[in-house]
C-alpha cells in the first residue's frame, strides 16, 4: 500500500513537472540573434585557434539545444548579394566582406528580452574581440507566420 | 539543394504611409508568395521582426548591452530558402511582391556548413 502511494505521488510529481515545462515552452518568445563581425574573425585565427573557437561555439549551441532554448543556429558564408529595386528595375551589389557583416545567426526561445540578452552574453565568442550580437524579437503577423 | 538566408532590409517602414487596406493587401501578397515558396519546397521558414531589439558586445573585459536604434537600414524580416545555387536564390528573391510596394532590399547569403556547428 505504502509503495503504491509512493508510486502515485511520484507519477503526480512527474506529470506536474512535465506540465510546467510545457507551459514554459508555450509562454516563451522567439528571438533572432544576428551575429556581426568585422570581416571574417575566424579565418584570421590560426588553425588551432579556429578549431578551439568551433569547439566552444559547438558546445554552447549543444547546451542551448539541451535546455530547449535553441530552434536553429547556422554560420553564413562571407559572400552574398544585396538586391535592390528602383522603379521596377533590380540592381545587384556584391557584399563587402571586409566590413561589418552578419556571419551567422541563432533562432532562440526565451521568456523575455532580459533572458535573451543573458543567453547572448554567455556566447563564448565574446572571449575574442570583434563580435556583436543583435537581438531582435520575432513578430507574429497573421497570414505570414 | 543549398540553404540560403535572405535578410529583408528597409529604411524605416516602406508601407507605414499605406492605408490599412493597402497594408492588408501587402501582407496578403507577401503571404501568398511565402505560401507558394513553402509549397514548392523552396522555403524553410519566413518571419517578420519587431522594429526593436538589443545589441550585445564585449569591450575592455566587460559585456555591453544597449538598445538597438538603427536609423538607417534595418532588417525587418528574413526568409530561410532552399535553392540550387546563389543565382536561383537571387531569382526567387526578385519574385517577392514586396518590391512592388516601396523601397526594399534583400541580402542573399549562403549558409556555411561547419563540422561541429550545423
What's the whole-model pTM score? 0.87
Res A4 pLDDT > 80: no
ipTM of the complex model: 0.93
Looking at residue A97, its pLDDT comes to: 79
What tens digit of pLDDT does each residue of A26-66 get?
689 999 999 999 877 777 788 898 899 999 999 999 999 99
Looking at residue A2, its pLDDT comes to: 59
CATH of the domain at A55: 3.30.70.1060
Looking at residue B33, its pLDDT comes to: 97
Find all residues with CB under 8 Å of B51, minimum gap 6, and list them. B13, B74, B76
Domain that holds residue A81: 28-137
Out of B30, B77, B86, closest to residue A81 by CB: B86
Domains contained in chain A, number: 1
The answer to the question of residue A60 being in a domain is yes
Looking at residue B65, its pLDDT comes to: 93
Predicted confidence band of residue A16 (pLDDT cuts 50, 70, 90): low
Out of B47, B55, B94, closest to residue A138 by CB: B47
Looking at residue A64, its pLDDT comes to: 97
Set out the domains of chain B in order of their start, with CATH numbers: 2-110 (3.30.70.1060)
In whole numbers, what is the pLDDT of chain A averaged over residues? 86
The answer to the question of residue A12 being in a domain is no
Maximal C-alpha separation, chain B: 51
The answer to the question of residue A11 being in a domain is no
CA distance A100 to A36: 6
The answer to the question of residue A54 being in a domain is yes
Identify the residue whose cell numbers are 519566413.
B46
The answer to the question of residue A6 being in a domain is no
Res A22 pLDDT > 80: no
All residue ranges of chain B with pLDDT < 70 are: 70-71
The answer to the question of residue A10 being in a domain is no
Res A131 pLDDT > 70: yes
Looking at residue A24, its pLDDT comes to: 53
Shortest Cα–Cα distance, B104 to chain A (Å) = 6
- Say if the Cβ atoms of A83 and B47 lie within 8 Å: no
Residue A120 and residue A64 in contact, taking contact as beta carbons nearer than 8 Å: no
Alpha carbon distances (Å) from A105 to A23, B14, B17, B110, B113: 26, 25, 31, 12, 13
CB interface of A with B, residues 53-92, below 8 Å: 54-55, 57-58, 61, 72-77, 79-86, 90, 92
- Say if the Cβ atoms of B117 and A54 lie within 8 Å: yes
For chain A, percent of residues with pLDDT exceeding 70: 82
Looking at residue A60, its pLDDT comes to: 97
Exposure string over A110-138, b if 16+ CB within 10 A, otherwise e: beebebbbebbbebebbebebbbbbbbbb
The answer to the question of residue A36 being in a domain is yes
Residue B76 burial by CB count (10 A; 0-12/13-18/19+): exposed, middle or buried?
buried
Of A12-26, A128-142, B61-75, the one with minimum mean pLDDT is A12-26
The answer to the question of residue A32 being in a domain is yes
Amino acid at each position: 500500500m505504502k509503495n503504491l502511494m509512493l508510486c502515485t505521488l511520484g507519477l503526480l510529481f512527474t506529470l506536474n513537472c512535465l506540465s510546467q515545462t510545457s507551459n514554459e515552452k508555450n509562454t516563451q518568445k522567439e528571438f533572432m540573434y544576428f551575429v556581426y563581425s568585422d570581416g571574417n574573425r575566424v579565418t584570421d585565427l590560426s588553425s588551432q585557434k579556429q578549431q578551439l573557437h568551433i569547439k566552444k561555439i559547438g558546445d554552447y549551441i549543444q547546451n542551448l539545444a539541451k535546455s530547449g532554448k535553441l530552434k536553429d543556429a547556422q554560420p553564413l558564408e562571407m559572400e552574398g548579394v544585396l538586391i535592390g529595386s528602383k522603379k521596377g528595375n533590380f540592381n545587384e551589389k556584391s557584399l563587402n566582406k571586409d566590413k561589418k557583416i552578419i556571419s551567422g545567426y541563432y533562432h532562440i526561445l526565451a521568456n523575455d528580452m532580459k533572458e535573451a540578452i543573458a543567453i547572448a552574453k554567455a556566447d563564448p565568442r565574446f572571449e575574442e574581440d570583434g563580435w556583436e550580437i543583435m537581438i531582435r524579437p520575432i513578430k507574429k503577423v497573421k497570414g505570414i507566420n | 539543394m543549398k540553404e540560403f538566408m535572405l535578410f529583408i532590409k528597409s529604411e524605416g517602414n516602406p508601407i507605414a504611409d499605406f492605408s490599412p487596406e493597402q497594408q492588408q493587401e501587402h501582407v496578403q501578397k507577401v503571404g501568398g508568395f511565402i505560401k507558394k515558396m513553402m509549397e514548392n519546397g523552396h522555403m524553410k521558414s519566413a518571419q517578420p521582426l519587431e522594429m526593436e531589439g538589443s545589441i550585445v558586445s564585449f569591450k575592455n573585459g566587460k559585456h555591453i548591452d544597449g538598445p538597438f536604434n538603427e536609423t538607417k537600414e534595418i532588417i525587418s524580416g528574413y526568409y530561410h530558402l532552399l535553392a540550387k545555387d546563389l543565382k536561383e536564390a537571387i531569382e526567387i528573391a526578385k519574385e517577392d511582391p514586396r518590391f512592388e510596394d516601396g523601397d526594399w532590399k534583400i541580402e542573399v547569403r549562403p549558409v556555411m556548413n561547419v563540422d561541429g556547428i550545423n
